Amino acid sequence: MTPKMKAAIINQYGRSGVLQVTDIDRPLAGPNDVLVKVVAASLNPRDWLTMRGLYQARKSLEPFPITLGSDFSGEIVQLGALVSSFAIGDQVFGMQPLRGKFGAFAEYVKINAAAIAAKPKGIDHECAAAMPCAGMTSYQTLHKIARVQPGETILVNGASGGVGVYAVQIAKAMGANVVAVCGPDNADLCRDLGANEVINYRAENFEDRTAAYDVVYDVIGRSSPKKSSKSLKPGGRYITTIPSVKTAMTAASSWLASKILPGKRKTSHLVLVKPEPADLSAMASMMLAGTLRSVIDSRHNLDNIEQAVERSQTWRARGKIIININ
Ligand SMILES: NC(=O)c1ccc[n+]([C@@H]2O[C@H](COP(=O)([O-])OP(=O)(O)OC[C@H]3O[C@@H](n4cnc5c(N)ncnc54)[C@H](OP(=O)(O)O)[C@@H]3O)[C@@H](O)[C@H]2O)c1
């Protein structure tokens, strides 16, 4: 008989009342996978967007029941036949790719070995589980899309949330002058994370400044290339995290224009995070060196996961929401 495990699943889409914690079959690692005993997972808006059927990129991707959860940290308990990069007992962390099965809100998760990284002993499971999706989104935006240079001014809109707290610290570590946009209650947190200046979005609209920023990193997607254009310097980059037909088309036409008419044009971009073990390891090294930390909003477990989802849906999370599992 297949061994069972506890998991948070949905059998239909819905705003609430559809998430059930129940026993399901424990997955088996395929040839390129590992099976990880999850110690901690973290919640991302993509989890409840998937639950509500609002995540178009994932809709129809996997049949019901769907086990939610993309980010985790834990211990390898089974290796696929072709996996040689890890051993049983290794502590690892990572995230499921957007276009793949989720499954981290469970006692065990199956994942491709090429998507995970070793968790250093000096980083606890909660801090590691917090990092993958949110941290890599900011790491990949700032290093690979914005290509931030020392001395540049980077505005982070949504600086106190899951993605934003990593953005502030990574931009700071790259030598940028960081302007954080958050609500009044989170100004001290953003300064503590390294922001040089904090804008309270209830008192000032960052878009009203003229030629103030080299990069507008619109983590929360409340601005747009048009609205932030005046505030960007010549050659400035606007980057959104919000995937939609409109943001994808704007990014594609901006890319085309920059190829046809190179020069100090303002450009628009869309980040789509990908699991990259090298990026996870780079961030883990920053954590060990003391230049990056995870900020924990709240801790939950599988039995009260509904509260964690409700908390995230308020858009008030201060850093990351953790689900402790084993
Ligand atoms: N494209 C990708 O690959 C990718 C990857 C990861 C995430 N995302 C997306 O990125 C977005 C942010 O994710 P997240 O995990 O950071 O969300 P989150 O943690 O839930 O964001 C909560 C934060 O948003 C801030 N906020 C709310 N309204 C704001 C406003 N009007 N202006 C500025 N800040 C505001 C809040 O700050 P205050 O409480 O201070 O108001 C709170 O700290 C989500 O839509 C998510 O789906 C996309």
Measured in angstroms, how far is the CA atom of residue 230 from the centroid of ligand 1? 23
Measured in angstroms, how far is the CA atom of residue 119 from the centroid of ligand 1? 26
Would the pLDDT of 140 be above 90?
yes
65 cis-preceded (ω within 30 degrees of 0): yes
CB of 99 within 6 A of ligand 1: the answer is no
The position carrying tokens 């409340």 is 222
19/9 Cα distance (integer angstroms): 6
CB of 96 within 6 A of ligand 1: the answer is no
Summarize pLDDT for 180-209 with one digit per residue, the tens: 999 999 999 999 999 999 999 999 999 999
Map out the domains of the chain as residue ranges: 4-131+294-324, 134-270
Atom of ligand 1 nearest to the CA of 270: 1
CB of 140 within 6 A of ligand 1: the answer is no
Give the three-class secondary structure for 139: helix
- pTM score over 0.95: yes
Atom of ligand 1 nearest to the CA of 182: 40
Summarize pLDDT for 277-319 with one digit per residue, the tens: 999 999 999 999 999 999 999 999 999 999 999 999 999 999 9
Would the pLDDT of 91 be above 80?
yes
The position carrying tokens 């308990």 is 77
pLDDT score of 98: 80
CB of 271 within 6 A of ligand 1: the answer is yes
Average pLDDT taken over every residue of the chain: 95
Same fold, 4-131+294-324 and 134-270: no
CB of 241 within 6 A of ligand 1: the answer is yes
Question: What residue owns the CA closest to ligand 1's atom 14?
Answer: 162
Would the pLDDT of 49 be above 80?
yes
pLDDT score of 58: 67
50/57 Cα distance (integer angstroms): 9
The architecture in CATH of the region 134-270 reads: 3-Layer(aba) Sandwich (3.40)
**What token pair was written down for 181?**
């946009």
pLDDT score of 259: 84
- Residue of 44, 217, 223, 315 to mutate, ligand 1, most atoms within 8 A of C-beta: 315
Determine whether 21 is exposed, middle or buried from the number of CB atoms within 10 Å of its CB (0-12, 13-18, 19+).
middle
**What token pair was written down for 203?**
């008192």
In this prediction, what percent of the chain has a pLDDT beyond 90? 89
Question: What residue owns the CA closest to ligand 1's atom 35?
Answer: 158
28/81 Cα distance (integer angstroms): 11
Would the pLDDT of 263 be above 80?
no
Summarize pLDDT for 104-124 with one digit per residue, the tens: 999 999 999 999 999 999 999
pLDDT score of 258: 85
Instruction: Give which of 126, 30, 36, 129 is closest to 87, Cα–Cα.
Output: 36
pLDDT score of 57: 67
CB of 273 within 6 A of ligand 1: the answer is yes
User: Which CATH superfamily, name and number, covers 4-131+294-324?
Assistant: Medium-chain alcohol dehydrogenases, catalytic domain (3.90.180.10)
* Sheet-wide strand order for 19-25: 19-25, 4-10, 66-67
The answer to whether 115 and 132 have CB atoms below 8 angstroms apart is no
Gyration radius of the chain over CA positions: 20
Which is more confidently placed, 30 or 257? 30
Q: Out of 74-83, 205-214, 239-248, which region has the weakest mean confidence (pLDDT)?
A: 239-248
CB of 59 within 6 A of ligand 1: the answer is no
Atom of ligand 1 nearest to the CA of 240: 1
